[in-house]
Structure formats: C-alpha cells, structure tokens
Amino acid sequence: MGRVTSRRRVVRLVDDAATARPDTLAVEEPLEIRVRGKSLAVTMRTPGDDFDLAAGFLVSEGVVRNPSDIANIRYCAGATADGSNTYNVLDVGLADGVAPPDPSIERNFYTTSSCGLCGKASLDAVRTTATWQVAADPIRLDPKLITEFPAKLRVAQRVFDKTGGLHAAGLFDAAGNLLCLREDVGRHNAVDKVVGWATRNGRLPLTGTVLMVSGRASFELVQKAVMAGIPVLTAVSAPSSLAADLAEEMGVTLVGFLRGTSMNVYTGGHRLGVAVGAR
C-alpha cells in the first residue's frame, strides 16, 4: 500500500531568520479505476481506503446501488513494466446482471483531486439516475447541533494534523454522532470514500444523515449526496450556484459557511426550523 504522508526538507523563513527543517506532506498519487477490466477514470488521491473510493465513485455514477452489485474489488498486479504492483490501479468486478457503465457516460478522463468530475451532466441527468428520493426524508435538526460538526470533524482529522493539506468528509447521524470520516487531497475523493464505506457496509440509502465537508459545496458534492440518499449537506465554505440549484431541485438541505455559531441555509430550511425565501 502507498504511504499517506512523506517527508521533505524545507527552509522555513521567519522574518530574517532561515532554518532548515523536515516537513510532512500529504501524498498525492494517481488511482486508475477499472470496471470489468476496462478503464473508467483516473483520479489523483491520497492512498488509503481505495476500495471505498472506487465503490463510492460507482454509486455517484449510478452504476452501483447495493453492496451485492459488487462482486469484488482488487488491485491489479503487474501495474508497471517490471511487473511490480504500485497499488495505483484497481479493478471492480460487477455481479451478474449488473450493467457496466453506460457508454454515454464512460469517459477516459483525468480528473484533478480538486475539481472532481468537471463537466458532469446536468440537473436532469441526476434526477433521472437518482435511486432514492431524499426530499421525503423526515430528518429534523437543531441548528446548534450542526455548529458542533466542524470541530468534531477537525478533531478526527489525524493526517491533517501532520500535514495541514487534506480535505475531510464526515457522516453524522441526527444525534450528532460521527459515523465515518475520510481524508483525501480531494474533497470529492473524501466524499466518495465515505459513500463507498456506507455502500460496502450495506448502509445505503443514508437516510437521516448529514454529510459535512471541509471545503466548498460544489454541484458534484450535492450530486454524490443525492445518489447516496443523504438529505443534508453542510460545508465550511460557500456552495456554487449550480449546487444550490440541484439541492433545491432534489430536496437536499444545503448549508454553507458553517463557522462558529453562524451558517447560511440555502435550501431545505424546514429541516432546521427556518424558512428560506425565494431567490
């Protein structure tokens, strides 16, 4: 398995003083995801929880809905010319009767760890492929409970403590308990790892849960929440306009700028006991 962190010598400048010292960096390496031996995607990620990442990615793509849809996940041996295994290529075997990715959405693409699946389909595509209707989720939350999530997320970020260079995604229940946390150089990968963990443990749909992300809330993150059946998405930074549009369309409660005791509620305010006015 690949390393999560690496050490590098740096020169630290403070005022006019220069000091040589070692620094810890978060590792970023490519991961190629294949389905039945056919390449589907290459993403830059932090090694670790790769099977969860692949499973969550396939849930987001609408290929997988239940753990029984996945026959196996394995690293591909001989990933290099000399036959050694880099643990940077894995193949997902689908169960009999599970259709492979539709040719219309198959993409041999490189996606950066920051932007996710840029250019992914429109609101209509998500609406037609979503398995669960999150709009009907009855979860209700006290806003004060949500304000505790960033601190809980931060405490659980062990690799961030060493590097300061990783995003995090955390899944909470309605009582504020942290069910799962994953870290990665890409916030989209961190979310896929959480969704993949839930998929492989038979927890989909994630009814009555809250997804907390350490960065901004993009269209792709709302999409991933919808595809996993998550009714509430909170972020410490801003959502994009398309993220808010999709959240409103699909009935997701979207919270941004969750810092200290304040937050902006963009959609689905009824779950927090507030009314969100029209645009």
Average pLDDT over residues 184-212: 96
Active-site residue identified among 76, 115, 118, 180: 115
Count of structural domains within the chain: 1
CA distance 157 to 74: 27
Stated pTM of the model: 0.87
Residues in CB range of 33: below 8 A, 6 or more apart: 39, 40, 41, 42, 43, 53, 54, 57, 90, 92
Assigned token pair, 253: 């409660």
Which residue did the predictor score with more confidence, 192 or 83? Answer: 192
CA distance 169 to 172: 10
For 146-183, letters b (16+ CB in 10 Å) and e give bbebbeebeebbebbeebebbbbbbbbebeeeebbbbb
Residue 155 has pLDDT above 80, yes or no: yes
- Which structural domain range is residue 140 located in? 134-271
267 belongs to a structural domain: yes
Average pLDDT over residues 177-188: 93
37 belongs to a structural domain: no
Give me the pLDDT at residue 5, please. Answer: 81
- Kindly indicate the confidence band of residue 171, based on its pLDDT and cuts at 50, 70 and 90: very high
124 belongs to a structural domain: no
171 belongs to a structural domain: yes
Give me the pLDDT at residue 13, please. Answer: 74
Q: What are phi and psi of 129, to 5 degrees?
A: -100, -10
Residue 112 has pLDDT above 50, yes or no: no
148 belongs to a structural domain: yes
Share of the chain above pLDDT 90, in %: 58
Residue 203: give its domain's CATH number: 3.40.140.10
Average pLDDT over residues 148-163: 79
Q: Work out whether the CA dihedral 186, 188, 189, 194 comes out positive or negative.
A: positive
Count of C-beta atoms within a 10 Å radius of residue 96: 5
- Kindly indicate the confidence band of residue 178, based on its pLDDT and cuts at 50, 70 and 90: very high
41 belongs to a structural domain: no
Q: What is the pLDDT of residues 261-278, one digit of tens each?
A: 999 999 999 999 998 765
34 belongs to a structural domain: no
Give me the pLDDT at residue 10, please. Answer: 79
Active site residue 115: yes
56 belongs to a structural domain: no
